[in-house]
Amino acid sequence: MKKRVLITGAAGFLGSHLCDRFIKEGFHVIGMDNLITGSLDNIEHLMPLEHFEFHHHDVSNFVHVSGNLDYILHFASPASPIDYLKIPIQTLKVGSLGTHNLLGLARVKQARMIIASTSEVYGDPLVHPQTEEYYGNVNPVGPRGVYDEAKRFQEAMTMAYHTYHGVETRIVRIFNTYGPRMRLNDGRVLPAFIGQALRGEDLTVFGDGSQTRSFCYVADQVDGIFRLLMSDYPQPVNIGNPDEITISQFAEEIIKLTGTDQKVVYKPLPKDDPMQRQPNITKSKEILGWEPKVSREEGLKITYEYFKSLPPEKLFKKEHKDFSNYRR
């Protein structure tokens, strides 16, 4: 009898790669997504499989899954700044109501549940690199607060179910992750730069380019998440690549990778955009035996090849989705 796993946000970038991993590990995978930011293209290859099923559902509403359930991975949420600024209430709801619904399901099914938290819980950090013990520097009423506070609440609710109801829970704090199936127009720096290079546009840097990011290839991220879920550690764990780079340096890397000769143009920095982002991964090394294996050079080559293979309608598509039907 195959173990059964529910993955929410299954049609998203990270969710779809998690579906792949659990299929490969021999699980029966139940994917769930309301497709507000996800795309069925990401899981089309899984649809014919006997041990994959898909449910088109918004987890902010009551969630029902028939039969036994061994694991729940809650990865449903807009993660792109462009998306969550356009649908702030849905972002808050999936982090609060969605988490509550799934924790209730985990309790009833006696399933182990892992939530996708984020490095954004640290806000614009005053501690560098960020350890799990750092409480963060977050503006709850700033534009990014809808995402940051949804995730912070999600962690608190998860820990409450763990301590009060004894639900087996895990919390992964995800740092910048990239790879095939990212949306070119999702507002994050890596697909934005590659998309601009492929379209022959100048690369846009916000601020003076001195802010830092660290990028983890998706296969490494998925492996870290899998190991954390299978561990017995209930406290938050950072999963990310500590190899830090400034945005200006990164723009130069992309120009070199793509062989283009665009200029870099500088624009004002958005409000509350974090200046530094680098995970301390001591815990993941010690507890999970995990650290990233894929270098940025290697991961970027794979990602660039994926983006290069996209049809023109995707490459030149500026607007991902009209969210007007969801704004209620």
Report d(CA 25, CA 43) in Å as an integer.
17
Q: Are 204 and 192 in contact (CB under 8 A)?
A: yes
Q: Summarize the confidence of residues 60-65 as an average pLDDT.
A: 97
CA 57 to the chain's CA centroid: 19
Q: Which helix (H) or strand (E) holds 297?
A: helix 296-308
- Average pLDDT, stretch 121-143? 92
Average pLDDT over residues 201-229: 94
Q: Please give the model's pTM, rounded to 2 decimal places.
A: 0.95
Output the pLDDT for position 76.
98
Of residues 320 and 160, the one with the higher pLDDT is: 160
Q: Which of 261, 262, 243 is nearest to 300 (CA)?
A: 243
Residue 272 has pLDDT above 70, yes or no: no
State how far the Cα of 44 lies from the Cα of 110, in Å rounded to an integer. Answer: 30
**How many Å from the N-terminal Cα to the C-terminal Cα in the chain?**
42
**Collapsing DSSP states into helix, strand and coil, what is residue 209?**
coil
> What pLDDT shows up at residue 277?
85
pLDDT-based confidence at 314, cuts 50/70/90? Answer: confident
ω before 48 within 30° of 0 (cis)?
no
Question: Among candidates 211, 191, 203, which has minimal Cα distance to 270?
Answer: 211
Cβ-proximal residues to 251 (8 Å cutoff; 6+ apart), any chain: 193, 203, 205, 209, 264
Report the catalytic residues. Answer: 147
**Mean model confidence pLDDT for the chain:** 93
Helix, coil or strand: residue 193? helix
pLDDT at position 304 is: 95
Task: Quickly state the pLDDT bin for 185 (edges 50, 70, 90).
Answer: confident
Evaluate whether 140 touches 88 at the Cβ level (below 8 Å).
no
- pLDDT over 60 at 328, yes or no: no
Residue 187's pLDDT is what? 82
